[in-house]
Structure formats: C-alpha cells, structure tokens
Structure 1
Amino acid sequence: MPLIRDFIEYLATLTTQYLLIFALLGLLLFTLGLLLGWLVQRRKTSKFHRQLQQAGKEKEAIQQRLTAADEDQKSLARELVSITSEKDDILVQQREFRKNLDAISRELSKLQASNEQLNATNQSYASTIEDLNDQIIGLKTRNEQLLGGNAGAGQRESPPPSDAMGEVERRLRALEERVARLSPDQPEPVVDLGKPTHEVRIGPSLGEVIERRDDLTRIQTVGPFNQAKLYEAGIYTYDQIADWSEEDLSAYAARIGYVAELMREEDWIGQARKLADARQRDPEAQAPPVPARQGLLAVMGITPEIEAVLEDAGIRNLPTLAETPVEELEAMLQQAGGHMSVHDPASWPRQATLAAEGRWEELKQLQEEV
C-alpha cells in the first residue's frame, strides 16, 4: 500500500506530457498482454479442437463397431433360433424314430415268436413224416415178403389169406392218407400199392441215426445251443451236414435261427466232411478236433471277416481286444453293416482275456455258456 501511494504521488508531480507517455506505455503493455493472452488461448483452443475432432472420429469408429456388433448379435440370434428350431425338429424326428423302432421291435418279436412256432410245427411234421416213412418202408418190405413167399410156394400152395393182404393194403392206404394230410404241398401220395411215386431213402432209420449222434460242437462256432437246434431240426451226424447242398444250408440256417452267410464263411459243410472222413478211416477212434484257431479267431463269434474289421480299427491281438469296451465293438460292427451287425460282442473281451492268459478250460466253459 505505501508503495502504491508513493507511485500515485510521483505521478501527481509529473507534467501532462509525461503522463501521456506513461498512459501510452501502459496502453501498449496492456495491448501486448492482451495479444499474448489471445495467442496462448488460441493455441490451447486449437489443441482442444484437435482433441475434440479426434474424439469425434473415435466416437464414430466406436459407433461403427457397435453397429457391427449389433448386426453380429442379431445374426447370431437368428442362427440360434434356427438351430433351436432344427433341434426341436430333430427331437421330434428322434421321438418318431423311437416309436417306429419300438413298433418294429414289437413286430419283430411277434415274427420271431411266429417263426419259432412254425419251426416247431414243421419239426413236428418232419418227425411224423419220417416215422411214417419208416413204417411205410417196413410195410412195403413185409408186403414184398408176402408176395415173394406166395410166388416161391408154387401152384401146390394156396395164396396168402385175403384177410392178411387186405389188412396190409388198408394200413398202406391209411398211412398214405396221413402223409398226404401232413404234406399238403405234395400232389402225389407218398406211396401206393405198387411202386413208390417218389424216391424213398433207404438207409439207417431215424432211431439208428439218433442212437449215434455226433458231437457237432467240434465244428467251429457250433456251440451247445446251435447243436441243440440242429438236433431239433433232425441233424445228428457229420455225414448229414457234409451232404448238404447250398439250398439245404440256407434252409437249415433259417430253421435253427442262424445266418447262412456265416455258415458258408465258417465252412460248416467242409468241417463236417473232414470229421466224417476221419471217423470213417478209424471208426473206433475219437474224431480229431478241428485245429484250434489262433489270434482273434480264438474268440467264439469272430469270423475272418470280422477279424479284418477289428484289425482295421487297430485291434490286432487278444490283449487289445480284452481292453476294448463292448460299446466300441458294437459300434464297429454296426458301422461295418451287413450280417456282421447281428453279432453280439458282449463276451468277446472276457474270452480274449482268458485266451491271452492261456486259461483254456475257463475259455471253453465260457464259450459253452455263450
């Protein structure tokens, strides 16, 4: 304050000319200060303006990205809706497939039951016809003996009593009618009073065949179950299987519920022929077993074709097969398709374990149970 007061008193002592000079200097300084302030402010304003422009550009870029993100979100939402709709359609189709599969399974069960019933009926008819054929052969032989005895006696002996001949004829006619009823597909009777109208098989009777049943389980893949089915179908010996034709093989495959293609691949006929030949060479000796199968073929149910499928999938030995889940084996068979899909690999890992460890007795017991 004293300094300002002294300055004011100093100015009061100055003349007007000096006061004007001081006034001009003050005005000049004020103008320079104002100009410098304007320049500084303009520089700051330009900087802020550039920052504002940069912020505007960034805002536009962010807005564009936001718009693109919105479009992507809408596109994803549309895809999600489409996928959800497809999922619903697939679920509906899956339910329909399951219904159809259940219906097919029920129908298949009915057909299998009907097939078993028909097989049992056919087997009963076959057994009855076989018995009747045996009786016809016996009666035919008796008739020939009576006729031969009559011819050898000459004129001095009287012919056989008419009652006996009539009885034989009546029995032959009755048997002929029974066979005709049991075999409606045959237009001709099985036998008449003269020569038979068809070729009668002369050989061991059914009883003799049954008495010498062969162990059919010596044929590969013929286990106790298939052997029982073959016995039910009237197949008891190796010779009967060895005499099969291709048509016979297909027919018996249907009767025992097996797959004809598998029987051909496993060569049932050839194996039976070898066993029958071995028995004929040495009837008293036990028929030699078929050589044991090696590798994956040691497992019952694995054919050479299935072995190739497993090897393609990386299963080339018994230890690997023993560690493979049953579900994977089922998937391999289903993917292979054809008749291989009917095989059940549930026991294969267990069989492979026993075979790999050399526990042959347990393996044989397990295969018999299977």
Structure 2
Amino acid sequence: MNWLSFLIGMIVGGGIVYYFWRSKAQKTGKTERMLRQRLADAESETHDLTTQLDGLNRQEEKLAACQAELQKKTKDLQQVTEQLSTAEIQIRSLRDQLTVAETNVETQTKHLSTAEIQIRSLRDQLTVAETNAETQTKQLSTAEAQIQTLREQLVVARTQSEAASEEPLPIMEKEAGTAVQPDDLTKIEGVGPKVAQVLNESGILTFAQLAQTDVNRLRTILQDAGSRFRMIEPESWPEQAELAANGDWSALTKLQDELDGGKYRR
C-alpha cells in the first residue's frame, strides 16, 4: 500500500514536473523564436542602417566634392568679375578715346574743308601766276632779244667811234666800212661768257684789243660790272690775248698750263 502510494506519488509528481517542464519549454521556445525574430529584425534594420550610412557617406563625399567645385567656381567667378571690371574700365577709356577721336576728326574735317578751299584758291592763283609768268617770260625773251640787239648796236657804235678817233691797229686793218669781227674771248683762261660780254660792252671785241688794254683798265671794267666780277684777276689776260692774236696757240696752251684760273702762280 505504501509502495503503491509512493508509486502513485511518483507518477503524479513526475506528471506535475513534466507539465511544468513542458510549459516552461514551450515558453522558452516561444521566447527563443521571438528573440530570433527580433535578432533577424535587428540584423535587417542594421543592414538597412548600414546601407543608409553608406549612402550618407557617399552623399557626404558628393557634398564635399560639390563644395570644392563650388569654391573653385566661386574663385573663377571672382576672377571673371575682376576681369569684367577691368574690361569695363578699358571700355570706358576706349569710349573716351573714341569721343576725343571723333571730335578731332570733326575738327580736322572742318580744317580739311577749309584747307581744300584754300588749295582751290591757291590753285586758281597759281594758274593766274603761271599765265602771268608765261606772259612775262615771253616779254622777257622779247626784252632780252631787244637788249642783245642794243648791245650789238652799242658794240658796233663804240667800235666805229674808236675807229674814227684812233689809228687802226695793224692786225685790225680792214677796208673802210667793214665791221670788226669779234674774237671768242672765252679762249682766254679766266674769261667766261659773262666776262666776255662785259668786255664786249666795254668795246673790247678782239684778242688784239684785249692784248693792248691796260690791266688796271680791265680791273676798272670788272669793278664797274658788279660785285660778282670784282674778285676776278685779269693780269694775265693781255699776255694770253697777244699770243692768241698772233695765232701762237701752242705757246698759249703752255702758258695756260702754268696759270691757276687765269692767275699767275706765285
């Protein structure tokens, strides 16, 4: 009886223990499943957060790159602004210069118009002057021809006067009424065309006449002819003229080789 009671007690106690163990096991399994679910949820959330964090990191990198690019663009904008400011200053300066240039052009245009009027006036005056000069040239040519004719008449008159008052020179002996033929006095060294003309106007036409003319009289003739003739020295002319009058051209050439512009070498 006691044994049976013990056995029944054991069975009843085991059942109670089993009931409590099973209840606890069921509770523990449920709790474990809940924890595992929470862990899975936490891992999923952690993965999501990690993904978001990676996205945020990438966004921060992009943001940093954007900030760097923004700083660069800001610096570039500042440089462009400075360049624009400089360009505006240059534009204002160029506009001022253009205004001055336009004013100068306007002034010069007015001056040019005035100058053109003056040029036309001067051209008209030049045309008149050229016409007058042409007329005066013709008149001068006529006057020079008349002067030359008068000089020739004067030479002839003086020659005739000297022939009438003086005994003819042997070399000049000619028939009565025959005109004297002038020699080329420029063959005398120191006598040029103008000097020969002065001598002719003074009645000296031939080598013989020049040979017999006193040196002092020759100096006086040159002095009276004007300042351009006063520096000419005629001291060798009579000697040269005498050789020419005698036709001794070789002796004349030799003498002239020893002269310096018609002057004796000292």
Given the two structures, how large is their TM-score scaled by the length of structure 1?
0.34
Larger Rg: 2
> Which structure has the higher relative contact order (CA within 8 Å, separation 6+)?
2
